[in-house]
Amino acid sequence: MLIIHDLKTRQITKQYARNRKLSKSNCRVRPGVVVMKFGEQLRSSAIREYQWYYIDYDGLKADLKHPSGSVQPVGDNSTKPSNRQQSRREWTEDDESRFISKLEAELEKVHTKQQVKAMEISRRIAVSEREVRDVVNRLNERGLSQDGPSEEEFMLLEEDLSDIIADVHDLAKFVQLNYTGFYKIIKKHDKMTGWHLKPVFETRLKAKPFYKENYDASVVELSKLYDLVRTRGNPVKGDSAAGGSQASFIRNTTKYWVHPDNVTELKLIILKHLPVLVFNASKEFEAADSAITSIYYDNPDTWELYEGRLKKTEGAEAIRLRWYGGMQNETIFVERKTHREDWTGEKSVKARFAIKEKNVNAYMRGELLPAAIFEKARKEGKKSEKAIAEDERLAKEIQWSVLKKGYKPVCRSFYHRTAFQLPADARVRISLDTELTMIREDNLDGVTRSGDNWRRMDIGIDYPFSQLPPGDIVRFPYAVLEVKLQTQHGQEPPDWVRQLISSHLVEAVPKFSKFIHGTATLFPDRIHLLPYWMPQMDVDIRKPASHDFGIKRTEHSATTSTSDDEDEEDSDDEGGVLGAQNGESIRQGAAARNGRALLAASDVEDQTVDRPTNDDVYLYDSDDEDDEDRLAEARRVGGWTYYQTLASTTAHTVGHAVWTGLKAIVPRPRATTVPRNARLESLLGTGEIQQKRFKAPKGKKIYVPVRVEPKVYFAAERTFLGWLEYSIYIGTIAVTLLNFSTKRGDKASFIAAGAFTFLAVMSLCYAVVTYLYRSKAIRTRQAAKYYDKVGPTVLCAALFVAVALNFGYEGTSRSMW
């Protein structure tokens, strides 16, 4: 059964397969899967202005299904032959030539429209710039008795700029959707015909790279103009570096992933509220201006910096060398990031100092002392003695750490950053990092990369670094959004920020780190503890629009409606994940992520997202250590460690089985099954919700962050002392009954005292075992169960029985019954 969401009628229908394809094991459709063909997605996402310039996806697909000379079905279009292979013949060279000609024509059509529209937008920006400058000049040059520009003029200018912003957004969506269409139709061609067109057509795409258009320059220019108009000609003044001159600064940062399809839209939304932060406004914007490169250091034997940053231990450090722009930049920043736990009362801090590129090697080897680095700064007197002293102390500490602990360059990160912030106002700072790439900098496998230099010199900022071998580079598939907020206690962030971070454009990934991700992916044979977001790398993060948020222009944009006639066989072999209004694919919400349904369609080229189809292949496991993995690791070690681990795992397995059996036998309240309402049934179906278990590759584990504060240790100690106190009380009662009995040979008093003594001893043993278990779990940061619903219950029941026995024996000894 397929659950199909029709974007035209907004209805959800259920459709049963009419042939045997969907019943096969390799094409399982779980309840809740919403499917849609890419052709339908293309039509539903089409913008009216571009409706005649999109790729003719359906026509190209029809050419592949019905080559020249094939037997066409007769009669109703919905009537199909039982075997599709009987209605077509082999793909010939004439068919290939005709298909390529049509594909070339479609490429020319899309490329021409993109070029014309991009030129139109550029001209409109230039005209708007002249108009804005004219209005602002009249505002600044008006006399005392003269009236400046009216509010209506500024409102008209703002509307014009908003219209241009919408044009840039529409063009970006047009390009993205067409590129997806070309990619899918070429992939479908190679699969259906057996002719490999992809390598050849990639050359044609490079000759007409409509999809490589970079809108950063337009975003920067629109940001300047929109800021002038929004502030009515009085933009905020201040240091454009916004803290760049400071040696140390504190930030509260939340990180998100952004799909490439949503990057341009996200930039256009943010620039309506914050201007693009430009460090040199007098200089024409260039792509190199936004490039940032960092070299991360670590000990390749222990990976202590990696594990410290991954586990977020108190005082964990990250050491990196960073520069802005191209390789010719002579100023290198040596930075150290230090993580601080909240319970310390301090904030995580980043400190850095500048050094000339020619001095980096000597400094990192210990040949150049920090005092010599800042000698010139002291003579020039441009910085205070206190600031120089802080920089010198930082330089000494970093140099000592590198030399003492054997830190070496291991990983490079490169990206283009677009920062949004009001100058000299750090309350809201948003940065978007695109084209994120991680590159190896080490010489561990015998390959000379950086050699004796502090960085490799065979690459610069020439993304996508095609000259590097695949094992040396990881191109991150998403952009990284960082939202840095500095608000007063109890103050809420702006509404637009809250709407942005809760919208469909972003996916929250707290504590994401470029250093951690790059190290984990570039050194798979050396890193065995992986970050928690690794399973999410195989999940499409695009979501449907959760609320009315984004760039919209209702008076101009509309979706086109075409024929509803679709091949019935396409519903069987061309299922895909439903596309939203802007081409995003539908997926289940975060709350149902573990039960997300996957469509294992036979024709994956026509899906909006390619997904793994083997449900039996687990990807990653949680941080909990499986007994099997522990035993395998202990077997490699051998000796007493293996026998100890074998006994521990065997006892754990037996204990778990006994406990499960006791739970099944003992009568207890059972949860009542609540039937699903109509809304949940329409989304998830009536079948059982499937859960996906993530299992790490052999020898690796996923580290799930567990926050541990000192009060957790104190809470465990207080609980142990509480049990100890009650054990002492019970023991005191036992001693009193035994020693102060009225009769020396009183059997009842002796039995009651024995019961209380046994209860006290058992309470003491239970308290010690529980305390040791909890202390170990806290030290190792395991996600253990720290609550106790068995011990207090047993203690109260045993105490009740002991008191009842004592009361009964005492009554018997006094002949009360």
Residue whose structure tokens are 């499917």: 35
CA 711, chain centre distance (Å): 31
Residue 186: Cβ within 10 Å count: 21
E strand or H helix that includes residue 173: helix 151-193
Residue 77: Cβ within 10 Å count: 11
Closest CA to 726 of 789, 785, 790, 792: 792
Mention every residue, 6+ apart, whose C-beta is less than 8 A from residue 84: 65, 569
**Quick one: tokens of 217?**
């320059």
CA 199, chain centre distance (Å): 31
What pairs with residue 721 in β-bridges?
Answer: none
- Cβ–Cβ under 8 Å, residues 81 and 87: yes
Biggest alpha carbon distance in the chain? 116
Mention every residue, 6+ apart, whose C-beta is less than 8 A from residue 461: 288, 291, 293, 325, 326, 327, 414
How are beta strands 701-703 and 529-531 bridged, if at all? Answer: parallel
Q: Which among 117, 514, 543, 701 is annotated as catalytic?
A: 514
E strand or H helix that includes residue 4: strand 2-6
Give the 3-state secondary structure of 665-719: HCCCCCCCCCCCCHHHHHHHCCCCCCCCCCCCCCCCEEECCCCCCHHHHHHHHHH
Give the C-alpha separation, 235 to 258, whole Å: 29
* Angle between helix 151-193 and helix 263-271 axes, rounded to 10 deg: 170
User: Is 514 annotated in the active site?
Assistant: yes
**Quick one: tokens of 592?**
């149902």
E strand or H helix that includes residue 60: helix 57-65
Grouping H, G, I as helix, E, B as strand and the rest as coil, residue 419 is: strand
- Cβ–Cβ under 8 Å, residues 422 and 274: yes
Catalytic positions, written as ranges: 514
